[in-house]
Amino acid sequence: MDSLTRQVMLPPPTSASPAARENTDPGGHRADSGVSYSKIDPVGTFVRLLGLIAPAWQAVLGAALLGSATIASNICLMATAAFLIASAALHPPAGKLMLAIVGVRFFGITRAVCRYLERYVNHSITLGILGRLRVAFYRTLEPLIPAGLPGHHSGDLLSRAVADVATLENFYLRVLNPPLVALPVAAGVFLFLAHFGRTLALAWMGSFLAAGIIFPLGLTIVGRGVLRRQGEARAALNTALVDTVQGLADILVFDHGRQQQEYIATLDRQYLHLQGRKAGLNGLANALTSLASNLALWAVLVLAIPLVNRGQIDGVYLAMLALTAAAALEAAQPLPMLFPHLEGSLAAARRIFALSDARPAGDPAGPVPHPRDFSLRVQGLRFRYGPGEPPALDGIDFDVPSGARIAIVGPSGAGKSTLVNLLLRFWDYEEGAILLGGYDLKAYPPEELRRFIGVVAQPTHLFHATIAENLLLARPDATREEMERAAREARLHEFIQGLPRGYDTLIGEEGFKLSGGQRQRLAIARALLQNAPILILDEATTGLDAVTEREVMDSIRHLMEGRTTLVITHRLAGLEDMDKILVLDRGRVVQQGRHAELLRQEGLYRHLWQLQQEALP
């Protein structure tokens, strides 16, 4: 039963967090997932985010200088324009105004050019950082599946890969870049105003510090946790939406549609409420910056008038000083939201780094062996999915000679699929050993190991792509003729040829345009195309009708020749040709032998055979 089915069977949670929130750590991960995450403190997270930007430090410095030059050009434009208008009011000779006229044109053009270059460089840096982060996140995520992520919803992973990564653009654009731009501007304007009067510079600096430090701290207190909770609410909403889409059939079967709608509506209202609070903080930040700008203008103006009256400043500079003070506060405009964006960025980074710090099954330290043959030997194998849980496998021992055909049968929950996961190193065992070609399975890197093994599993994942693209997952360099040969052996070629676009037909998400039997046959064709020396069939013919099942099994028997084959099934029909049959029950091998031998014995195999024979029409 998947996560959505569990959610359907239980009352919807009342909070904006995922259903398993009560057993999660501060990063939103299930505490019982079996994965150890390193503790990430805010300082450590901040340093790691700086590490993402460090390779582009020259571009960052250039973007900061361009940002400062843009604001400086705007300040100079306002100051020059004010000086030009004030001077023109005195009707001087035109020649005395030429420098100011040229200055207005120059700073107007410079502002536009610098703004364009600053935006271009900033977005190039940001998109480069996000691109590297997405690739790194995927490379981290891939080896963790499925063993490292048992407690994570697919919607939560999607939110981390998309929304949380996108949130980190705020770290550079709204946390790191604004102070780098504001400091040179503040220093330049302070020195400029101090040239006319120290009190003017100190009054302006008071307004700037209010906009850059006092107001941000106040907004941090008022809106504490808003952006962090918004990220959590967004993740919970994405989780619910993805689970709903993937489990829509279960929802309809259990008549849980209205409850699911109410649950999603509750999450949506909570998310919208937090979005409203964020918008309110943004509006308050803009209002406070405008207030600081106006206070700076009036403070400089009021303090400069006595200086003009005393003749310390020429009156023509009065408007220029006031507008310079107001325009210079543009550098402080992004600063009031600096700390809230920092908090939101750190929360998103913690969610991403929590996964990137998970410990996947590692590659072997020594040289990679080459198997002498493709035999399998399992010795004293024990495995639990988590501490305190009952063993899924408890002391398994068996041998599969190279080229032999072994069937593993038993009731649901006996441990058959667990054994497949261990053979593929999706999970790593701690007790016992599995030998491939005489070498321990852990001596092979997971990627190398999986080249030796072809699998047809009961839950077949198909991508929203063409039939050909889904087949090429098994062997990307396969030709069209090889794909068609594999499809013929899986009894699928004629069906594909009857489609409007043949092998170029899109099959939809999870292959929903195909029937269950067609999906299984496509998975079998994929395994045939891979042509691996070891073949694992995990309920490979589930969903096929009796006639098609017999046809596909005929193809599979041909494929088995010369290959080490494990047939995992709960259906006992067609196992007469197996070299050996292992009967699992509660993680143990309770019987083994050939089909005829097991039927002569009193035991679980004979009992299962009789039940299946009675179920036949």
**Single-letter amino acid code for the residue at 502:** G
Query: Cα separation of 128 and 124, whole Å?
Result: 6
On whether the CB atoms of residues 418 and 536 are closer than 8 A, the answer is no
pLDDT tens digit sequence for 505-554: 888 877 778 877 788 788 888 888 888 888 888 877 766 666 766 766 77
Task: For residue 265, give the 3-state DSSP assignment.
Answer: helix
Query: Cα separation of 292 and 325, whole Å?
Result: 10
**Residue ranges of the domains in the chain?**
3-9+39-356, 376-615
Residue 581 phi/psi, 5-degree rounding, is -125, 125
Q: What's the whole-model pTM score?
A: 0.62
What percentage of residues in the chain have a pLDDT greater than 70? 86
Longest Cα–Cα distance in the chain: 120
pLDDT over 90 (residue 70):
yes
pLDDT over 70 (residue 426):
yes
Query: Cα separation of 17 and 7, whole Å?
Result: 13
Q: Which two tokens stand for residue 311?
A: 């003749």
Query: Cα separation of 17 and 237, whole Å?
Result: 8
Residue 374 phi/psi, 5-degree rounding, is -120, 45
pLDDT tens digit sequence for 243-292: 788 788 788 888 888 888 888 999 999 989 888 888 888 888 888 888 88
Query: Cα separation of 573 and 569, whole Å?
Result: 10
Query: Cα separation of 420 and 417, whole Å?
Result: 5
Mean predicted confidence (pLDDT) in 36-54: 71
Predicted confidence band of residue 17 (pLDDT cuts 50, 70, 90) = very low
End-to-end alpha carbon distance in the chain: 29
Q: E strands, 80-162, where? A: none
Q: What is the pLDDT of residue 235?
A: 76
Which residue has tokens 């020594």?
366
Burial code of 77-94, b = ≥16 C-beta within 10 A, e = fewer? bbbbbbbbebbeeeeeee
Residue 219 phi/psi, 5-degree rounding, is -65, -30
pLDDT over 90 (residue 76):
yes
Query: Cα separation of 289 and 329, whole Å?
Result: 7
Q: What is the pLDDT of residue 36?
A: 35
Q: What is the pLDDT of residue 362?
A: 59
Q: E strands, 281-430, where? A: 376-383, 393-400, 405-409
Bridge pairing between strands 453-456 and 534-538: parallel
Return the minimum-mean-pLDDT range out of 117-121, 323-327, 468-472, 560-564: 560-564
Side by side, the strands of the sheet bearing 453-456 are: 453-456, 534-538, 564-569, 405-409, 580-585, 588-593
Residues 3-9+39-356, CATH architecture: Up-down Bundle (1.20)
pLDDT over 70 (residue 9):
no
Q: Which two tokens stand for residue 567?
A: 């047939």
Kindly report the length of the chain. 617
**Check whether domain 376-615 has CATH 3.40.50.300, yes or no:** yes
Q: Which two tokens stand for residue 30?
A: 């299930």
Predicted confidence band of residue 555 (pLDDT cuts 50, 70, 90) = low
Query: Cα separation of 274 and 231, whole Å?
Result: 9
Q: What is the pLDDT of residue 359?
A: 60
User: Which helix (H) or strand (E) element contains residue 196?
Assistant: helix 177-196
Query: Cα separation of 144 and 150, whole Å?
Result: 10
Task: For residue 578, give the 3-state DSSP assignment.
Answer: coil
Mean predicted confidence (pLDDT) in 44-70: 87
Q: Which two tokens stand for residue 395?
A: 């002391």
